[in-house]
Amino acid sequence: MSGISFSPLGDRAVIIRLGSSIDEATHRRVRAVCARLDAQPIPGVVEYVPAFASVAVHYDPATNAYARMTELLDAELVHLEDEGLPPARTVEIPVCYGGEFGPDLDDVARHHALTADEVVRIHTGGDYLVHMIGFAPGFPYLGGLPERIATPRRREPRTLVPAGSVGIGGSQTGVYPIASPGGWQLIGRTPLTLFSPERDVPALLRAGDRVRFRAISRDEFLAWDADA
Amino acid sequence: MSLRVRQPGLLTTVQDLGRVGHQRDGVPVSGAMDPLALRVANLLVGNDERDAALEITLTGPTIVFEGDALVAITGADLSATLDDARLPAWRAIRVPSGATLAFGAVRVGCRAYLAVAGGIDVPPVLGSRSTYVRAGFGGVDGRALRRGDVVSSGAPSALAERIAVSLTHADGRAGVARWSVGAKLRPAYADEAVVRLIAGAHAAALTDASRAALHQATFRVSSRSDRMGYRLEGPSLELAEPLELLSEPVAFGTVQLPPGGCPIVLMADRQTTGGYPRIGEVATIDLPLLAQLKPGDRVRFAPISLEEAQALYVEREREIAGVRQSIVLRYR
Protein backbone atom coordinates (compact mmCIF):
# COMPACT_ATOMS: atom_id res chain seq x y z
CA MET A 1 0.00 0.00 0.00
CA SER A 2 1.53 3.33 -0.98
CA GLY A 3 1.04 6.65 0.78
CA ILE A 4 1.25 5.02 4.18
CA SER A 5 3.15 6.61 7.04
CA PHE A 6 3.83 5.86 10.69
CA SER A 7 4.12 8.18 13.65
CA PRO A 8 4.40 7.42 17.35
CA LEU A 9 1.44 7.96 19.68
CA GLY A 10 3.41 8.01 22.91
CA ASP A 11 5.62 5.09 23.88
CA ARG A 12 2.99 2.35 23.56
CA ALA A 13 1.17 3.06 20.30
CA VAL A 14 1.82 3.93 16.67
CA ILE A 15 -0.51 5.69 14.27
CA ILE A 16 -0.67 4.37 10.72
CA ARG A 17 -1.79 7.25 8.53
CA LEU A 18 -3.60 6.31 5.32
CA GLY A 19 -4.96 9.59 4.03
CA SER A 20 -5.88 13.10 5.03
CA SER A 21 -9.59 13.39 4.28
CA ILE A 22 -12.89 11.74 5.08
CA ASP A 23 -13.71 9.78 1.94
CA GLU A 24 -14.67 6.28 0.94
CA ALA A 25 -11.35 5.43 -0.73
CA THR A 26 -9.45 6.30 2.46
CA HIS A 27 -12.02 4.40 4.46
CA ARG A 28 -11.41 1.27 2.36
CA ARG A 29 -7.70 1.54 3.10
CA VAL A 30 -8.47 1.75 6.83
CA ARG A 31 -10.65 -1.34 6.56
CA ALA A 32 -8.00 -3.20 4.57
CA VAL A 33 -5.38 -2.50 7.25
CA CYS A 34 -7.72 -3.71 10.00
CA ALA A 35 -8.55 -6.87 8.03
CA ARG A 36 -4.84 -7.59 7.63
CA LEU A 37 -4.13 -7.00 11.32
CA ASP A 38 -6.93 -9.46 12.14
CA ALA A 39 -5.58 -12.06 9.72
CA GLN A 40 -1.89 -11.67 10.56
CA PRO A 41 -1.39 -10.92 14.26
CA ILE A 42 1.92 -9.19 14.99
CA PRO A 43 3.75 -10.06 18.22
CA GLY A 44 3.26 -7.42 20.89
CA VAL A 45 0.14 -5.84 19.38
CA VAL A 46 -2.43 -5.25 22.11
CA GLU A 47 -5.29 -3.80 20.05
CA TYR A 48 -5.93 -1.55 17.08
CA VAL A 49 -8.31 1.38 16.73
CA PRO A 50 -9.52 2.54 13.30
CA ALA A 51 -10.36 6.20 12.67
CA PHE A 52 -11.34 8.33 9.63
CA ALA A 53 -7.99 8.13 7.87
CA SER A 54 -5.72 6.30 10.29
CA VAL A 55 -5.39 3.23 12.46
CA ALA A 56 -3.72 3.26 15.87
CA VAL A 57 -1.90 0.13 16.92
CA HIS A 58 -1.39 -0.17 20.67
CA TYR A 59 1.57 -2.41 21.46
CA ASP A 60 3.86 -3.59 24.22
CA PRO A 61 7.30 -1.96 23.79
CA ALA A 62 8.85 -4.77 25.85
CA THR A 63 8.05 -7.08 22.92
CA ASN A 64 9.00 -4.72 20.10
CA ALA A 65 10.35 -1.19 20.32
CA TYR A 66 8.94 1.47 17.97
CA ALA A 67 11.45 1.01 15.16
CA ARG A 68 10.93 -2.75 15.05
CA MET A 69 7.15 -2.43 15.33
CA THR A 70 6.96 -0.08 12.35
CA GLU A 71 9.22 -2.42 10.35
CA LEU A 72 6.88 -5.32 11.07
CA LEU A 73 3.81 -3.26 10.21
CA ASP A 74 5.38 -1.93 7.05
CA ALA A 75 6.34 -5.42 5.89
CA GLU A 76 2.79 -6.59 6.52
CA LEU A 77 1.07 -3.65 4.85
CA VAL A 78 3.35 -2.72 1.97
CA HIS A 79 1.74 -5.12 -0.49
CA LEU A 80 -1.74 -4.62 0.86
CA GLU A 81 -4.47 -3.59 -1.55
CA ASP A 82 -8.06 -2.86 -0.73
CA GLU A 83 -9.55 -5.47 -3.05
CA GLY A 84 -11.15 -8.48 -1.51
CA LEU A 85 -12.65 -6.72 1.46
CA PRO A 86 -15.69 -8.52 2.79
CA PRO A 87 -18.91 -6.82 1.67
CA ALA A 88 -20.17 -4.15 4.05
CA ARG A 89 -23.12 -4.98 6.28
CA THR A 90 -26.19 -2.79 5.97
CA VAL A 91 -27.92 -2.01 9.25
CA GLU A 92 -31.40 -0.51 9.25
CA ILE A 93 -32.13 1.83 12.14
CA PRO A 94 -35.82 2.52 12.88
CA VAL A 95 -36.40 6.11 14.02
CA CYS A 96 -39.43 7.86 15.44
CA TYR A 97 -38.95 11.38 14.10
CA GLY A 98 -40.13 14.59 15.71
CA GLY A 99 -42.38 15.12 18.70
CA GLU A 100 -41.00 14.36 22.14
CA PHE A 101 -38.26 12.19 20.58
CA GLY A 102 -37.05 14.80 18.07
CA PRO A 103 -37.54 18.18 19.73
CA ASP A 104 -35.36 20.00 17.15
CA LEU A 105 -36.97 18.58 13.99
CA ASP A 106 -39.10 21.67 13.42
CA ASP A 107 -36.12 23.99 13.94
CA VAL A 108 -34.08 21.99 11.43
CA ALA A 109 -36.96 22.17 8.92
CA ARG A 110 -37.34 25.93 9.43
CA HIS A 111 -33.59 26.43 9.05
CA HIS A 112 -33.80 24.96 5.54
CA ALA A 113 -37.28 26.25 4.67
CA LEU A 114 -38.48 22.66 4.45
CA THR A 115 -41.36 20.88 6.11
CA ALA A 116 -40.64 18.38 8.89
CA ASP A 117 -41.82 15.59 6.59
CA GLU A 118 -39.35 16.67 3.93
CA VAL A 119 -36.48 16.58 6.43
CA VAL A 120 -37.53 13.06 7.43
CA ARG A 121 -37.78 11.99 3.79
CA ILE A 122 -34.30 13.34 3.04
CA HIS A 123 -32.80 11.82 6.20
CA THR A 124 -34.33 8.39 5.51
CA GLY A 125 -33.30 8.64 1.85
CA GLY A 126 -29.61 8.90 2.67
CA ASP A 127 -27.09 6.08 2.38
CA TYR A 128 -24.70 6.37 5.32
CA LEU A 129 -21.29 4.89 6.03
CA VAL A 130 -19.87 4.26 9.51
CA HIS A 131 -16.42 5.81 9.13
CA MET A 132 -15.39 5.15 12.71
CA ILE A 133 -16.64 4.55 16.23
CA GLY A 134 -15.52 7.00 18.89
CA PHE A 135 -16.53 9.79 21.27
CA ALA A 136 -18.56 7.32 23.37
CA PRO A 137 -19.05 3.55 23.50
CA GLY A 138 -20.68 2.53 20.19
CA PHE A 139 -21.02 6.09 18.83
CA PRO A 140 -20.87 5.99 15.00
CA TYR A 141 -19.35 8.80 12.99
CA LEU A 142 -21.57 8.61 9.89
CA GLY A 143 -20.74 10.00 6.50
CA GLY A 144 -23.36 10.63 3.85
CA LEU A 145 -25.73 13.21 5.32
CA PRO A 146 -27.41 15.02 2.39
CA GLU A 147 -26.05 18.58 2.37
CA ARG A 148 -29.62 19.92 2.12
CA ILE A 149 -30.27 19.12 5.78
CA ALA A 150 -26.81 19.81 7.24
CA THR A 151 -27.52 22.05 10.22
CA PRO A 152 -25.25 23.86 12.68
CA ARG A 153 -25.12 22.48 16.22
CA ARG A 154 -27.28 24.03 18.91
CA ARG A 155 -25.92 27.19 20.45
CA GLU A 156 -26.42 25.72 23.93
CA PRO A 157 -25.57 22.01 24.22
CA ARG A 158 -28.04 19.93 26.22
CA THR A 159 -26.73 18.60 29.52
CA LEU A 160 -28.47 15.28 28.92
CA VAL A 161 -29.34 13.71 25.58
CA PRO A 162 -31.27 10.43 25.99
CA ALA A 163 -29.79 7.21 24.64
CA GLY A 164 -31.00 6.44 21.11
CA SER A 165 -31.37 10.09 20.11
CA VAL A 166 -30.73 10.72 16.42
CA GLY A 167 -29.14 14.06 15.70
CA ILE A 168 -27.60 16.33 13.11
CA GLY A 169 -24.43 18.27 13.94
CA GLY A 170 -23.06 20.28 11.05
CA SER A 171 -22.63 17.91 8.11
CA GLN A 172 -22.73 14.82 10.33
CA THR A 173 -25.58 12.72 11.58
CA GLY A 174 -25.47 10.09 14.26
CA VAL A 175 -27.10 8.28 17.13
CA TYR A 176 -26.24 8.75 20.82
CA PRO A 177 -25.63 5.20 22.15
CA ILE A 178 -25.75 6.21 25.81
CA ALA A 179 -27.26 9.18 27.61
CA SER A 180 -24.70 11.99 27.53
CA PRO A 181 -24.38 15.74 27.14
CA GLY A 182 -24.56 16.84 23.51
CA GLY A 183 -24.99 19.75 21.17
CA TRP A 184 -26.51 18.13 18.10
CA GLN A 185 -29.98 18.96 16.74
CA LEU A 186 -32.20 16.09 17.85
CA ILE A 187 -34.59 15.01 15.10
CA GLY A 188 -35.74 11.62 16.40
CA ARG A 189 -35.00 8.58 18.49
CA THR A 190 -34.43 4.90 17.77
CA PRO A 191 -35.70 2.13 20.04
CA LEU A 192 -32.60 0.08 19.20
CA THR A 193 -29.87 -0.26 21.81
CA LEU A 194 -26.67 0.86 20.06
CA PHE A 195 -24.42 -0.20 22.89
CA SER A 196 -24.86 -2.72 25.64
CA PRO A 197 -21.82 -4.01 27.55
CA GLU A 198 -23.77 -7.16 28.42
CA ARG A 199 -24.19 -8.24 24.78
CA ASP A 200 -21.74 -10.62 23.14
CA VAL A 201 -21.20 -7.96 20.50
CA PRO A 202 -21.65 -4.80 22.57
CA ALA A 203 -21.75 -2.24 19.76
CA LEU A 204 -24.55 -2.49 17.17
CA LEU A 205 -22.44 -0.72 14.54
CA ARG A 206 -18.85 -1.17 13.45
CA ALA A 207 -16.60 0.86 11.20
CA GLY A 208 -17.40 -0.08 7.61
CA ASP A 209 -21.11 -0.72 8.12
CA ARG A 210 -23.72 0.92 5.86
CA VAL A 211 -26.67 2.49 7.66
CA ARG A 212 -30.20 3.28 6.49
CA PHE A 213 -32.74 5.09 8.65
CA ARG A 214 -36.42 4.07 8.48
CA ALA A 215 -39.23 6.18 9.91
CA ILE A 216 -41.52 4.47 12.43
CA SER A 217 -44.55 5.76 14.33
CA ARG A 218 -44.66 6.62 17.99
CA ASP A 219 -46.74 3.47 18.61
CA GLU A 220 -44.19 1.31 16.84
CA PHE A 221 -41.45 2.96 18.92
CA LEU A 222 -43.26 2.30 22.19
CA ALA A 223 -44.07 -1.30 21.23
CA TRP A 224 -40.51 -2.04 20.13
CA ASP A 225 -38.80 -4.86 21.96
CA ALA A 226 -35.24 -3.61 22.25
CA ASP A 227 -33.92 -7.07 23.02
CA ALA A 228 -35.47 -8.72 19.99
CA MET B 1 -13.97 -12.77 52.74
CA SER B 2 -16.03 -9.64 52.20
CA LEU B 3 -15.51 -5.93 52.65
CA ARG B 4 -18.43 -4.04 54.17
CA VAL B 5 -18.47 -0.35 53.27
CA ARG B 6 -19.37 1.77 56.31
CA GLN B 7 -18.42 5.06 54.62
CA PRO B 8 -17.70 5.19 50.88
CA GLY B 9 -15.19 8.04 50.82
CA LEU B 10 -15.07 10.61 48.00
CA LEU B 11 -14.64 8.25 45.03
CA THR B 12 -13.85 4.62 45.73
CA THR B 13 -14.11 2.39 42.67
CA VAL B 14 -13.16 -1.11 41.63
CA GLN B 15 -10.33 -0.96 39.07
CA ASP B 16 -8.01 -3.42 37.39
CA LEU B 17 -5.62 -2.83 34.50
CA GLY B 18 -8.45 -1.80 32.20
CA ARG B 19 -10.75 -2.90 29.44
CA VAL B 20 -8.35 -3.77 26.66
CA GLY B 21 -9.46 -4.68 23.14
CA HIS B 22 -12.69 -2.69 22.88
CA GLN B 23 -11.44 0.76 21.93
CA ARG B 24 -12.47 0.06 18.34
CA ASP B 25 -16.05 0.02 19.69
CA GLY B 26 -15.49 3.36 21.39
CA VAL B 27 -15.12 1.78 24.83
CA PRO B 28 -12.63 3.62 27.05
CA VAL B 29 -9.90 1.51 28.61
CA SER B 30 -10.47 2.81 32.18
CA GLY B 31 -8.51 0.89 34.83
CA ALA B 32 -6.26 2.18 37.57
CA MET B 33 -5.05 5.76 37.22
CA ASP B 34 -1.76 4.59 38.77
CA PRO B 35 -1.35 1.13 37.26
CA LEU B 36 2.07 0.64 38.89
CA ALA B 37 0.66 1.04 42.40
CA LEU B 38 -2.19 -1.35 41.56
CA ARG B 39 0.19 -3.98 40.19
CA VAL B 40 2.51 -3.78 43.18
CA ALA B 41 -0.42 -4.00 45.64
CA ASN B 42 -1.56 -7.17 43.89
CA LEU B 43 1.92 -8.72 43.88
CA LEU B 44 2.33 -8.04 47.60
CA VAL B 45 -0.72 -10.20 48.42
CA GLY B 46 0.13 -13.02 46.01
CA ASN B 47 -2.39 -11.98 43.34
CA ASP B 48 -2.08 -11.83 39.60
CA GLU B 49 -1.03 -8.23 39.04
CA ARG B 50 -4.06 -7.75 36.76
CA ASP B 51 -6.56 -8.50 39.54
CA ALA B 52 -9.10 -5.90 40.59
CA ALA B 53 -8.55 -3.73 43.66
CA LEU B 54 -10.14 -0.64 45.16
CA GLU B 55 -8.96 2.74 43.92
CA ILE B 56 -9.42 5.21 46.76
CA THR B 57 -9.44 8.93 46.00
CA LEU B 58 -8.33 11.57 48.56
CA THR B 59 -11.00 10.98 51.20
CA GLY B 60 -10.83 7.29 51.95
CA PRO B 61 -13.63 4.92 52.90
CA THR B 62 -14.26 3.12 56.17
CA ILE B 63 -14.32 -0.61 55.59
CA VAL B 64 -14.99 -3.55 57.90
CA PHE B 65 -13.38 -6.89 57.06
CA GLU B 66 -15.85 -9.75 57.28
CA GLY B 67 -13.44 -12.65 57.44
CA ASP B 68 -9.66 -12.87 57.84
CA ALA B 69 -7.95 -11.05 55.00
CA LEU B 70 -4.56 -10.53 53.42
CA VAL B 71 -4.30 -6.97 52.11
CA ALA B 72 -1.85 -4.36 50.87
CA ILE B 73 -2.24 -0.61 50.45
CA THR B 74 -0.08 1.22 47.93
CA GLY B 75 -0.15 4.53 46.09
CA ALA B 76 -1.07 7.73 47.88
CA ASP B 77 -0.52 8.01 51.64
CA LEU B 78 -4.00 8.74 52.96
CA SER B 79 -3.17 7.99 56.61
CA ALA B 80 -4.61 4.49 56.66
CA THR B 81 -5.45 3.00 60.05
CA LEU B 82 -6.58 -0.45 61.17
CA ASP B 83 -8.67 -0.29 64.34
CA ASP B 84 -7.18 3.16 64.92
CA ALA B 85 -3.57 1.98 64.69
CA ARG B 86 -1.46 3.41 61.88
CA LEU B 87 -1.16 0.91 59.05
CA PRO B 88 2.08 0.62 57.09
CA ALA B 89 1.76 0.95 53.33
CA TRP B 90 3.43 -1.07 50.53
CA ARG B 91 3.43 -4.22 52.68
CA ALA B 92 1.38 -7.39 52.93
CA ILE B 93 -0.80 -7.29 56.04
CA ARG B 94 -2.77 -10.08 57.65
CA VAL B 95 -6.01 -8.52 58.90
CA PRO B 96 -8.24 -10.30 61.45
CA SER B 97 -11.95 -10.62 60.79
CA GLY B 98 -13.95 -7.72 62.20
CA ALA B 99 -11.13 -5.17 61.93
CA THR B 100 -11.98 -1.69 60.61
CA LEU B 101 -9.89 0.05 57.98
CA ALA B 102 -10.16 3.83 57.90
CA PHE B 103 -8.32 6.73 56.32
CA GLY B 104 -7.41 10.23 57.45
CA ALA B 105 -5.49 13.19 56.13
CA VAL B 106 -3.94 13.19 52.66
CA ARG B 107 -0.19 13.12 53.27
CA VAL B 108 0.99 12.72 49.71
CA GLY B 109 -0.58 11.65 46.42
CA CYS B 110 -4.19 11.41 45.33
CA ARG B 111 -5.11 7.73 44.90
CA ALA B 112 -4.45 4.75 47.14
CA TYR B 113 -4.98 1.13 46.12
CA LEU B 114 -6.33 -1.54 48.44
CA ALA B 115 -5.62 -5.02 47.13
CA VAL B 116 -7.02 -8.09 48.85
CA ALA B 117 -5.83 -11.65 48.29
CA GLY B 118 -8.01 -13.21 45.59
CA GLY B 119 -8.82 -9.83 44.09
CA ILE B 120 -12.12 -7.92 44.26
CA ASP B 121 -14.68 -10.28 42.79
CA VAL B 122 -17.24 -8.38 40.75
CA PRO B 123 -18.54 -9.68 37.42
CA PRO B 124 -16.18 -8.81 34.58
CA VAL B 125 -17.72 -6.65 31.84
CA LEU B 126 -16.02 -6.86 28.43
CA GLY B 127 -13.10 -8.65 30.02
CA SER B 128 -12.47 -6.21 32.86
CA ARG B 129 -13.76 -5.41 36.35
CA SER B 130 -12.87 -1.73 36.03
CA THR B 131 -15.61 0.75 36.85
CA TYR B 132 -16.52 3.20 34.08
CA VAL B 133 -18.87 5.56 35.87
CA ARG B 134 -19.73 7.75 32.87
CA ALA B 135 -21.42 4.89 31.00
CA GLY B 136 -22.36 3.03 34.18
CA PHE B 137 -20.74 -0.36 33.74
CA GLY B 138 -18.03 -2.43 35.40
CA GLY B 139 -17.17 -2.56 39.10
CA VAL B 140 -20.18 -2.49 41.40
CA ASP B 141 -23.15 -1.66 39.15
CA GLY B 142 -21.02 0.77 37.16
CA ARG B 143 -20.72 3.22 40.04
CA ALA B 144 -18.53 4.26 42.93
CA LEU B 145 -18.98 2.39 46.21
CA ARG B 146 -21.79 3.47 48.52
CA ARG B 147 -22.42 3.04 52.20
CA GLY B 148 -23.74 -0.46 52.85
CA ASP B 149 -22.10 -2.08 49.82
CA VAL B 150 -20.52 -5.46 50.46
CA VAL B 151 -17.86 -6.59 47.99
CA SER B 152 -16.34 -10.05 48.07
CA SER B 153 -12.86 -11.25 47.30
CA GLY B 154 -12.12 -14.11 44.97
CA ALA B 155 -10.33 -17.34 45.90
CA PRO B 156 -6.80 -16.56 47.12
CA SER B 157 -3.90 -18.16 45.25
CA ALA B 158 -1.76 -20.82 46.90
CA LEU B 159 0.94 -18.15 47.15
CA ALA B 160 -1.47 -15.83 48.95
CA GLU B 161 -2.31 -18.60 51.40
CA ARG B 162 1.38 -19.10 52.19
CA ILE B 163 1.93 -15.37 52.68
CA ALA B 164 -1.12 -15.22 54.96
CA VAL B 165 0.08 -18.15 57.09
CA SER B 166 3.49 -16.53 57.51
CA LEU B 167 1.86 -13.37 58.87
CA THR B 168 -0.67 -14.98 61.20
CA HIS B 169 -0.18 -14.38 64.92
CA ALA B 170 -1.55 -16.81 67.49
CA ASP B 171 -3.17 -13.95 69.42
CA GLY B 172 -5.12 -12.77 66.36
CA ARG B 173 -3.51 -9.33 65.95
CA ALA B 174 -2.63 -7.96 62.51
CA GLY B 175 0.59 -9.28 61.01
CA VAL B 176 2.75 -7.02 58.87
CA ALA B 177 5.29 -8.34 56.38
CA ARG B 178 8.87 -7.20 57.01
CA TRP B 179 9.61 -7.04 53.29
CA SER B 180 8.41 -4.57 50.67
CA VAL B 181 9.47 -3.48 47.19
CA GLY B 182 12.47 -1.39 46.23
CA ALA B 183 12.47 2.37 45.73
CA LYS B 184 12.29 2.04 41.94
CA LEU B 185 8.74 0.72 42.21
CA ARG B 186 7.71 3.31 44.79
CA PRO B 187 7.88 6.60 42.88
CA ALA B 188 8.41 9.68 45.01
CA TYR B 189 4.96 11.23 44.74
CA ALA B 190 4.89 14.97 45.42
CA ASP B 191 2.53 17.88 44.95
CA GLU B 192 4.92 19.28 42.35
CA ALA B 193 5.98 16.74 39.75
CA VAL B 194 8.37 16.78 36.84
CA VAL B 195 6.90 14.54 34.18
CA ARG B 196 8.73 13.51 31.04
CA LEU B 197 7.02 14.26 27.76
CA ILE B 198 7.56 12.74 24.32
CA ALA B 199 6.96 15.24 21.50
CA GLY B 200 3.40 15.02 20.21
CA ALA B 201 2.39 14.73 16.57
CA HIS B 202 1.53 18.45 16.44
CA ALA B 203 4.20 19.87 18.77
CA ALA B 204 5.92 21.45 15.79
CA ALA B 205 2.78 23.46 15.06
CA LEU B 206 3.11 25.40 18.33
CA THR B 207 4.51 28.91 18.19
CA ASP B 208 8.15 29.12 19.28
CA ALA B 209 7.07 30.84 22.48
CA SER B 210 4.47 28.20 23.28
CA ARG B 211 6.86 25.36 22.53
CA ALA B 212 9.30 26.88 24.98
CA ALA B 213 6.55 27.48 27.55
CA LEU B 214 5.40 23.87 27.36
CA HIS B 215 8.75 22.76 28.78
CA GLN B 216 9.59 25.72 30.98
CA ALA B 217 6.35 26.76 32.61
CA THR B 218 4.79 25.23 35.68
CA PHE B 219 1.17 24.18 35.12
CA ARG B 220 -1.47 23.83 37.81
CA VAL B 221 -3.88 20.89 37.86
CA SER B 222 -7.34 22.41 37.51
CA SER B 223 -10.19 21.56 39.85
CA ARG B 224 -12.06 20.42 36.71
CA SER B 225 -9.79 17.39 36.43
CA ASP B 226 -10.99 13.84 36.81
CA ARG B 227 -10.27 10.25 35.78
CA MET B 228 -10.96 11.22 32.18
CA GLY B 229 -8.48 14.05 31.91
CA TYR B 230 -6.32 16.56 33.75
CA ARG B 231 -6.95 20.14 32.69
CA LEU B 232 -3.85 22.25 33.16
CA GLU B 233 -3.77 25.94 33.96
CA GLY B 234 -0.74 27.98 33.03
CA PRO B 235 0.43 30.09 30.13
CA SER B 236 -2.02 29.86 27.25
CA LEU B 237 -0.44 27.80 24.46
CA GLU B 238 -0.99 28.69 20.83
CA LEU B 239 -0.48 27.16 17.42
CA ALA B 240 1.35 29.15 14.77
CA GLU B 241 -1.45 28.30 12.33
CA PRO B 242 -4.80 26.71 13.08
CA LEU B 243 -4.83 22.98 12.22
CA GLU B 244 -7.79 21.22 10.63
CA LEU B 245 -7.58 17.75 12.07
CA LEU B 246 -9.60 14.60 11.66
CA SER B 247 -10.45 12.72 14.83
CA GLU B 248 -7.72 10.22 15.58
CA PRO B 249 -7.05 7.69 18.32
CA VAL B 250 -5.49 8.96 21.54
CA ALA B 251 -3.64 7.26 24.41
CA PHE B 252 -3.16 7.40 28.20
CA GLY B 253 -1.01 10.49 28.65
CA THR B 254 -1.85 12.24 25.37
CA VAL B 255 -1.63 16.02 25.88
CA GLN B 256 -4.33 17.71 23.81
CA LEU B 257 -4.53 21.40 23.08
CA PRO B 258 -8.13 22.66 22.70
CA PRO B 259 -8.69 26.11 21.18
CA GLY B 260 -8.81 27.79 24.61
CA GLY B 261 -5.05 27.23 24.98
CA CYS B 262 -5.16 25.16 28.20
CA PRO B 263 -3.75 21.67 27.66
CA ILE B 264 -5.62 18.56 28.77
CA VAL B 265 -3.78 15.35 29.62
CA LEU B 266 -5.93 12.32 28.83
CA MET B 267 -6.11 9.81 31.68
CA ALA B 268 -7.62 6.38 32.39
CA ASP B 269 -11.26 7.12 31.44
CA ARG B 270 -10.32 9.05 28.26
CA GLN B 271 -12.39 8.81 25.11
CA THR B 272 -10.84 6.54 22.51
CA THR B 273 -10.42 9.24 19.85
CA GLY B 274 -9.99 13.00 19.79
CA GLY B 275 -9.81 15.82 17.30
CA TYR B 276 -7.63 18.36 19.11
CA PRO B 277 -3.95 18.87 18.32
CA ARG B 278 -1.71 16.51 20.28
CA ILE B 279 1.27 18.48 21.55
CA GLY B 280 2.84 15.80 23.77
CA GLU B 281 2.61 12.30 25.13
CA VAL B 282 3.51 11.63 28.76
CA ALA B 283 6.07 8.83 29.04
CA THR B 284 4.46 5.73 30.58
CA ILE B 285 7.17 5.62 33.24
CA ASP B 286 5.93 8.95 34.65
CA LEU B 287 2.15 8.41 34.43
CA PRO B 288 2.03 7.38 38.12
CA LEU B 289 3.58 10.71 39.17
CA LEU B 290 0.94 12.54 37.15
CA ALA B 291 -1.97 10.37 38.29
CA GLN B 292 -1.04 11.05 41.91
CA LEU B 293 -1.36 14.83 41.47
CA LYS B 294 -4.53 16.34 42.87
CA PRO B 295 -6.32 19.54 41.89
CA GLY B 296 -4.13 22.51 42.78
CA ASP B 297 -0.88 20.52 42.45
CA ARG B 298 1.78 21.53 39.95
CA VAL B 299 3.50 19.85 37.04
CA ARG B 300 6.37 20.63 34.70
CA PHE B 301 7.19 18.75 31.50
CA ALA B 302 10.76 17.67 30.75
CA PRO B 303 11.48 16.44 27.23
CA ILE B 304 12.36 12.78 26.65
CA SER B 305 12.99 10.86 23.45
CA LEU B 306 10.73 8.01 22.42
CA GLU B 307 13.70 5.61 22.56
CA GLU B 308 14.58 6.59 26.10
CA ALA B 309 10.96 6.39 27.23
CA GLN B 310 10.66 2.88 25.83
CA ALA B 311 13.97 1.83 27.42
CA LEU B 312 12.72 3.06 30.82
CA TYR B 313 9.44 1.24 30.26
CA VAL B 314 11.24 -2.03 29.55
CA GLU B 315 13.49 -1.53 32.59
CA ARG B 316 10.48 -1.00 34.85
CA GLU B 317 8.77 -4.10 33.49
CA ARG B 318 11.92 -6.03 34.37
CA GLU B 319 11.83 -4.62 37.90
CA ILE B 320 8.22 -5.74 38.29
CA ALA B 321 9.02 -9.20 36.96
CA GLY B 322 11.88 -9.33 39.46
CA VAL B 323 9.57 -8.55 42.37
CA ARG B 324 7.11 -11.18 41.20
CA GLN B 325 9.92 -13.72 41.06
CA SER B 326 11.38 -12.82 44.46
CA ILE B 327 7.99 -13.14 46.18
CA VAL B 328 7.47 -16.56 44.63
CA LEU B 329 10.95 -17.65 45.78
CA ARG B 330 10.46 -16.28 49.29
CA TYR B 331 7.31 -18.35 49.79
CA ARG B 332 8.32 -21.46 47.88
- The 10s digit of each residue's pLDDT in B150-205 is 999 999 999 999 999 999 888 878 899 999 999 999 999 999 999 999 999 999 99
Residue B170's pLDDT is: 83
Q: Which long-range contacts (CB under 8 A, 24 or more apart) does A110-119 make?
A: A111/A151, A112/A148, A112/A149, A112/A151, A114/A148, A114/A149, A119/A149, A119/A187
In this predicted model, what pLDDT tens digit does every residue of B204-222 receive, in sequence order?
A: 999 999 999 999 999 999 9
What pLDDT does B233 receive?
A: 97
> What residue ranges in chain A does DSSP mark as E strands?
5-8, 13-17, 45-50, 54-59, 90-97, 128-133, 140-143, 158-161, 165-169, 172-175, 180-182, 185-189, 210-215
Question: Does A198 sit within 8 Å of B310, measured CB to CB?
Answer: no
Beta-carbon contacts of residue A43 (< 8 Å; ≥ 6 apart): A63, A64, A72
Q: Is it the case that residue A228 has pLDDT exceeding 60?
A: no
Beta bridge partners of B102: B81
Q: Is the pLDDT of residue B136 over 60?
A: yes
- Chain A residues touching residue B283 (CB < 8 angstroms): 10-11
Residue A200 has pLDDT above 90, yes or no: no
* pLDDT exceeds 90 at position A86: no
B53 within 8 A of B71, measured Cβ to Cβ: no
What is the C-alpha to C-alpha distance for residues B3 and B87, in angstroms, rounded to an integer? 17
In chain A, what residues touch B20 (CB-CB under 8 Å)? 46-47
DSSP A38-63: HHS--TTEEEEEE-SSEEEEEE-TTT
Tens-place pLDDT, residues A62-77? 999 999 999 999 999 9
The verdict on a CB contact (< 8 Å) between B282 and A10 is yes
Nearest residue on chain A to B125, judged by CA atoms? Answer: A197
Chain A CB contacts of B282 below 8 Å: 10
Average confidence score pLDDT of chain B = 96
Q: What is the pLDDT of residue A226?
A: 63
Q: Tell me what pLDDT residue A227 has.
A: 59
Of B24, B28, B254, the CB nearest to A10: B254
Distance from CA of B275 to the nearest CA of A (A): 10
On whether any CB of chain A is under 8 Å from the CB of B23, the answer is yes
Per-residue pLDDT band for A225 (boundaries 50, 70, 90) equals confident
Q: By the 8 A CB rule, do B120 and B26 touch?
A: no
Instruction: Please list every residue in chain B whose beta carbon sits closer than 8 Å to the beta carbon of residue A159.
Output: none
* Contact present, B68 and B161 (Cβ < 8 Å): no
Residue A166 has pLDDT above 70, yes or no: yes
C-beta atoms of B198 and A8 within 8 A: yes
Q: How confident is the model at residue B250 (pLDDT cuts 50, 70, 90)?
A: very high
Task: List, for residues A114-144, the tens digit of each pLDDT value.
Answer: 999 999 999 999 999 999 999 889 999 999 9
A115 min Cα distance to partner chain B (Å): 33
Phi-psi region of B72 (alpha: psi -120 to 50; beta: other; left: phi over 0): beta
- Residue in A58, A65, A134 nearest the CB of B26: A134
Q: B267 — contact with chain A (CB < 8 Å)?
A: no
Q: Is there a contact between B137 and A197 if contact means CB atoms under 8 Å apart?
A: yes
Compute the nearest-CA separation of B62 from chain A (Å).
30
Residue A83 pLDDT level (bands cut at 50, 70, 90): low
Nearest residue, CB atoms, A47 vs list B20, B283, B284 = B20
Q: Are A36 and A83 in contact (CB under 8 A)?
A: no
CB < 8 Å from A in window 45-104 of B: none
The dihedrals phi and psi of B65, each to the nearest 5 degrees, come to: -85, 120
Beta carbons of B125 and B137 less than 8 angstroms apart: yes
pTM of the model: 0.94
Question: Could you tell me the pLDDT band of residue A12, with boundaries at 50, 70 and 90?
Answer: very high
